[in-house]
């Protein structure tokens, strides 16, 4: 068996161990009565199907693949509703983390550095732990489709990426990202050789397929209400929301917090020099990053009240940056920086604690950053973020300047390990 295969299987086993450990530390959402959150509609579709269901609401009804897969699993296995969703959560999250490992390897990271990159979304509260708590969401299938669509683009297979993206639009609308990147690549290819019309044909087919997949469910599936914040089809207040949402300062306050909270791992490892070299190292991927960031920032602004869940889709661009920073030769990352980063993730993302679903206010303050809700807990969370990020930056400066710690870089440590593990 090839060394790379052994390493990939080792990464998969580690991802499974992380999931099992986090699942052990996480309570299950079982207080569903009296709430009108997303999971109510996904559970209803899993139990009652889509056609003829009088309880459908936008946008959940258009993301029917996940609940219908859960429904199929439960009917096949003869299990209660939560089992099908939990199986999908495990399969999806495991595949997503494994995909992040492959992204890091494609960007040139070694085995150990790729494991570090994979561990970062695993330590993000709403990437993994939340979906082991509330596993009725479609995100657990959106993540793996998104990461493998990006991988397909990295391996120059845009048609595969578009296929995964179009399928994923029936799971989560964020799968528009690889489609947008593929359209950009074909447009650039056509511009370089305007005599070749094949890129234009692919662009046309992709645009038509995307519009069809987005429009047909909204045309064919009858809904009784909309909970979509920005809904041009069902909300007469659409324009008011479109222009009013960015003017809500409380929401903007939480918007910035969620961005800062999710990008904390990169900020702990980053120096101006490391960031500059990582950006240079991205090369042809830089336009991809701009497209990705633009779509995700808009999605966070208009997607919903739980912006922290929308921020989790930054896991791929963060993986790009950190993969390159871990390869930095001018300022190599110290082992202590990685250990501190893991500690900060455990503390800040509450990985050792259960979600206080029994107390609504405590539940909102558990992570903070919800909608336009600002409480004393919001200020405390900012203080916690500043403390962890600031301490990380201070310790990093000490480690980088210490001559006695030069041999404790991640690169130097890996070079001492057996050849099979490098």
Q: What percent of the chain has pLDDT over 90?
A: 81
**DSSP symbol at 409:** B
Measured distance CA(223)–CA(46) in Å, rounded: 16
Tens of pLDDT along 73-114? 999 999 999 999 999 999 999 999 999 999 999 999 999 999
CA dihedral for 382, 386, 387, 392, sign (positive or negative): positive
Residue 264 pairs in a beta bridge with: none
Measured distance CA(38)–CA(34) in Å, rounded: 13
Q: What is the mean pLDDT of residues 294-311?
A: 94
Is 259's pLDDT higher than 90? Answer: yes
Give me the pLDDT at residue 405, please.
Answer: 65
Block residue for tokens 């324009």:
239
Tens of pLDDT along 171-186? 999 999 999 999 999 9
Tokens coding 222 = 């009858």
8 Å CB contact between 168 and 175: yes
**Residue 304: band (very low, low, confident or very high) from pLDDT cuts 50, 70, 90:** confident
Q: What is the mean pLDDT of residues 321-337?
A: 94
Q: What is the mean pLDDT of residues 314-339?
A: 95
**Residue 308: band (very low, low, confident or very high) from pLDDT cuts 50, 70, 90:** very high
Phi, psi of 225 (to 5 degrees): -165, 165
Is 34's pLDDT higher than 60? Answer: no
Selection from 141, 157, 140 nearest residue 106 by Cα: 157
Q: What is the mean pLDDT of residues 33-57?
A: 87
Measured distance CA(341)–CA(347) in Å, rounded: 10
Q: What angle do CA 254, 257, 258 make, to 5 degrees?
A: 90
Give me the pLDDT at residue 63, please.
Answer: 97
Q: What is the mean pLDDT of residues 390-419?
A: 75
**Residue 38: band (very low, low, confident or very high) from pLDDT cuts 50, 70, 90:** confident
Q: Mean pLDDT check: name the lowest of 94-108, 249-263, 397-411.
A: 397-411
Between strands 225-226 and 57-58, the pairing is parallel
Give me the pLDDT at residue 419, please.
Answer: 63
Question: What is the SS3 assignment for 196?
Answer: coil
- Read off the pTM: 0.95
Residues 6+ apart with CB under 8 A from 340: 268, 392, 395
Tokens coding 400 = 């980088």
Q: What is the mean pLDDT of residues 27-45?
A: 79
What H or E segment, with its residue span, contains residue 338? helix 335-348
Alpha helices for 169-248 (secondary structure H)? 176-192, 198-220, 238-244
Give me the pLDDT at residue 49, please.
Answer: 95
Give me the pLDDT at residue 407, please.
Answer: 66
8 Å CB contact between 95 and 88: no
8 Å CB contact between 396 and 271: yes
**DSSP symbol at 332:** P
Block residue for tokens 């403390």:
387
Give me the pLDDT at residue 234, please.
Answer: 80
- Extract long-range pairs of 234-243: CB within 8 Å, 24+ residues apart: 234/58, 241/302, 242/302
DSSP string, 261-298: HHTHHHHHH--HHHHHHHHHHHGGGHHHHHHHHHHHHH
**Residue 415: band (very low, low, confident or very high) from pLDDT cuts 50, 70, 90:** low
Is 389's pLDDT higher than 80? Answer: yes
8 Å CB contact between 77 and 174: no
Block residue for tokens 């799971």:
171
Selection from 351, 327, 349, 352 nearest residue 269 by Cα: 327
Measured distance CA(191)–CA(202) in Å, rounded: 14
8 Å CB contact between 295 and 176: yes
Tokens coding 155 = 């391996």
Q: What is the mean pLDDT of residues 145-161?
A: 98
Q: What is the mean pLDDT of residues 309-315?
A: 97
Give me the pLDDT at residue 232, please.
Answer: 86
Measured distance CA(131)–CA(146) in Å, rounded: 16
Residues 6+ apart with CB under 8 A from 375: 361, 364, 365, 368
């Amino acid at each position: 068996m090839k060394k790379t295969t052994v390493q990939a299987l080792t990464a998969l086993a580690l991802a499974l161990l992380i999931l099992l450990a986090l699942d052990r530390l996480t309570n299950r959402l079982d207080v569903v009565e009296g709430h009108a959150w997303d999971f109510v509609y996904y559970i209803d579709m899993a139990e009652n199907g889509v056609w003829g269901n009088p309880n459908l609401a936008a946008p959940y009804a258009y993301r029917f693949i996940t609940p219908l897969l859960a429904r199929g699993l439960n009917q096949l296995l003869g299990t209660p509703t939560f089992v099908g969703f939990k199986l999908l959560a495990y399969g999806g999250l495991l595949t997503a983390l494994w995909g992040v490992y492959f992204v890091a390897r494609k960007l040139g990271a070694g085995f150990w550095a790729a494991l570090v990159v994979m561990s970062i979304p695993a330590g993000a509260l709403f990437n993994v732990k939340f979906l082991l708590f509330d596993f009725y969401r479609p995100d657990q299938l959106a993540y793996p489709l998104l990461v493998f669509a990006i991988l397909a683009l990295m391996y120059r297979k845009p048609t595969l990426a578009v296929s995964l993206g179009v399928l994923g639009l029936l799971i989560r609308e964020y799968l528009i990202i690889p489609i947008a990147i593929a359209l950009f690549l074909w447009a650039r290819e056509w511009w370089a050789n305007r005599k070749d019309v094949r890129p234009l044909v692919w662009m046309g087919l992709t645009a038509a397929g995307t519009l069809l997949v987005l429009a047909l469910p909204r045309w064919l599936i009858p809904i009784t209400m909309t909970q979509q914040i920005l809904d041009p089809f069902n909300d007469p207040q659409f324009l008011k929301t479109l222009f009013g949402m960015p003017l809500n300062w409380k929401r903007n306050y939480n918007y910035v917090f969620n961005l800062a909270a999710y990008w904390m791992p990169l900020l702990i490892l980053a120096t101006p020099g490391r960031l500059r070299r990582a950006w240079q190292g991205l090369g042809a991927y830089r336009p991809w990053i701009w497209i990705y960031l633009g779509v995700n920032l808009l999605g966070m602004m208009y997607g919903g009240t739980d912006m922290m869940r929308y921020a989790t889709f930054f896991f791929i661009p963060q993986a790009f940056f950190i993969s390159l920073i871990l390869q930095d030769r001018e300022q190599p990352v110290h082992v202590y920086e990685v250990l501190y980063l893991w500690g900060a993730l455990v503390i800040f993302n509450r990985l050792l604690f259960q979600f206080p679903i029994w107390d609504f206010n405590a539940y909102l303050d558990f992570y903070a950053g919800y909608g336009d809700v600002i409480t004393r807990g919001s200020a405390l969370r900012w203080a916690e973020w500043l403390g962890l990020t600031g301490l990380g930056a201070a310790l990093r400066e000490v480690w980088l300047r210490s001559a006695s710690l030069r041999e404790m870089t991640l690169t130097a440590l890996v070079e001492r390990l057996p050849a099979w593990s490098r």
